[in-house]
Structure 1
């Protein structure tokens, strides 16, 4: 969309949300991969200034869910009511009358991502990280009206059925698939829970040493909480190292009474995600080297745990 038309769209949006408001400025936020993310600063009566975030969904999100804006709005309302720190959902539109693609407007939350938690203490940092995730997993799906959430077990089954023409043997994709194909679907040993789907350090904002908000809920699913835990374990390992992985996992287990027997299998599911695209995810040869080394460690510990079952 040309810049002038885009600004007109933002001005129209402000007029609809806040009839007495005026758009001061807009700026692109970094980190938006699957969507266009823009911050707006709005002047309101009595010298009040408000900031909001507009998230316009990309083709990949829309292909998976044509009602994604309405669904994410409802999901944010649900998790916020349950006490999970998320941006307040403010507005959404899927009609195309303001922007061509569906979008959602959420509260702008001040904060920063932390790539080195040493300054606030690793036990406290990963304790907060784990507590927020367990808060998500404790939401009882049977009491919530969230029928649109995809099922994680079914998605893994579909992924295993779609074997790529070229396996990524550098990440042991063939070996991982062979193990999972023998046991899938796993027996359900834990209650189905709400899964964030992309709970990693880049989606967590911190302010003054406290976890302020959990962002980006478009990958939310329903399933065994261990699926979410496994994904986060790999992300923690990639970002912070093996000691951090141990601390985070221990703090999570202290807070969440689950059957952890199948965690190694879910670890292998998490390890499949970067197959064929780890270089793209890494963004640089130096980071890719670290990610590959830590991925190998992650897969090895999963296979070792399975050998002990």
Structure 2
């Protein structure tokens, strides 16, 4: 790794990256006063916003007069995955409005000032204390392939909540099987249809046919599902890419048996493909010996290099002609702009403004001009999309996010948690980088961070891990792009 390359991400940066350093907003707490001023107060139900997330706070403090006070709050705030907790320290100013409790509450508490309950509108400002994420957090340093690990674990109940998964009933799947396999029926057994709950975008099933053959069914999101612009017609992209790379026997990709985009048997695209004989690398990697891990990583690098050997006639995405161009510089700028547009539709507030992000991209855009040949890029070759058998890669899947681009966009060149040259880089044959290549790697890391951050608002992730990491990766990428 050259000295100028962004450093690998560390967990301690994630922990406090949730909220901005200062809050501003309007609160409507209820103040309980026990004696004339100054008094101890308890504020409950306060709701305020910093423009990004909403807060609810329980506050303890000292009220010094009609319009001044100070307090510390314990509360929660909204994130794309749910709620998280924090502490806040702030000063406030406001005008108390007397609220007189009814006699059935006041009389039993005889002796208290009847003005014991005050509704106070306050404008506040203050620093944010230690922020802790609720649920799903990982302690210690994240694994190198954090992305699939933290966007794939789901219970049956969670799968139902997916914003894009187009799940089907057994009779509906039986009709799709009949269409694809010339009237073939499902096996009679209960396990003839097993939902595969890995992933958050498509619905997928392990299917057993009446003749005993096992196949994989993949169903695209409903046509009216909210997806990012680059995800338009994403299944057509996947099928085309998989059929293309099967021309190279060095790329172990499953055969596509049948693809249907007619939308009569099913309301969205779907396809059946070969079931790979092997183990998912994400599931078994921890149990592999160091030698076996290195062998697999080397093989992954070799396969990715073979994928990049296919050349195209344009840069950009197969499924969205609006994100294509004759030059890589123009196409990449379009792609980045499309993610910013996706974020604007959901009112996403990044840690860096749109103009700041655009300026960083344009500052280094000249390095993109070195790329003159469109090459097929998988872009999503993380562990969960790799199957292994006997120390070798048996299959690679999920080409849905493939595009014609610069090979340095591949996941193997995103040094999220690794320092130095990885085994997959050695397998690929790329172990040194020019300054222009470092520029492009940082641009591609920024793009990945934008996609990760934005898609949190389009999915239904059950933790904030991807959201946290996206902010960290964006910060590291922007720092490098500004400094170099």
Give the TM-score category using the shorter length: 0.7 to 0.9
Normalised to the residue count of structure 1, the TM-score between the two structures is 0.74
Normalised to the residue count of structure 2, the TM-score between the two structures is 0.50
Tell me by how many angstroms 1:135 deviates.
1.2
Contact 1:131 1:255 in 2 (8 A): no
Structure 1 gap segments, 5+ residues each: none
**What residue is the counterpart of 1:50 in the other structure?**
213
Identify the match of residue 265 of structure 2 among 98, 106, 116: 98
Contact 2:177 2:185 in 1 (8 A): yes
How many angstroms apart in 2 are the aligned matches of 1:255 and 1:244?
Answer: 9
**What residue is the counterpart of 2:46 in the other structure?**
none
Contact 1:77 1:88 in 2 (8 A): yes
**What residue is the counterpart of 1:196 in the other structure?**
378
**What residue is the counterpart of 1:271 in the other structure?**
449
Structure 2 gap segments, 5+ residues each: 1-166, 325-330
Higher Rg of the two aligned structures: 2
Contact 1:67 1:94 in 2 (8 A): no
Tell me by how many angstroms 1:182 deviates.
3.5
Does 1:17 find its partner at 2:181? yes
Tell me by how many angstroms 1:141 deviates.
1.9
Contact 2:380 2:401 in 1 (8 A): yes
How many angstroms apart in 2 are the aligned matches of 1:72 and 1:62?
Answer: 16
More helix by share: 1
How many angstroms apart in 2 are the aligned matches of 1:93 and 1:62?
Answer: 22
Q: Please show how residues 50-89 of structure 1 align to structure 2 within 5 Å.
A: 50-59=213-222, 60=225, 69-83=235-249, 84-89=251-256
Does 1:260 find its partner at 2:437? yes
Where relative contact order (Cα < 8 A, 6+ residues apart) is larger, the structure is 2
* Matched pairs, number: 288
What is the aligned-residue RMSD (CA, Å)?
Answer: 3.9
Contact 1:89 1:107 in 2 (8 A): yes
Taking a change above 3 Å as real, the CA distance of residues 200 and 18 of structure 1, as seen in their structure-2 partners, is same
**What residue is the counterpart of 1:31 in the other structure?**
198
Summarize deviations over 1:253-286 as a string: whole Å, max 9, x none: 438999724222222222322225669787446x
More strand by share: 2
How many angstroms apart in 1 are the aligned matches of 2:194 and 2:318?
Answer: 35
How many angstroms apart in 1 are the aligned matches of 2:258 and 2:396?
Answer: 18
How many angstroms apart in 1 are the aligned matches of 2:318 and 2:342?
Answer: 25
How many angstroms apart in 2 are the aligned matches of 1:128 and 1:256?
Answer: 19
Identify the match of residue 179 of structure 1 among 360, 375, 378: 360
Taking a change above 3 Å as real, the CA distance of residues 305 and 101 of structure 1, as seen in their structure-2 partners, is closer
SS at match of 2:213: strand
Contact 1:62 1:68 in 2 (8 A): no
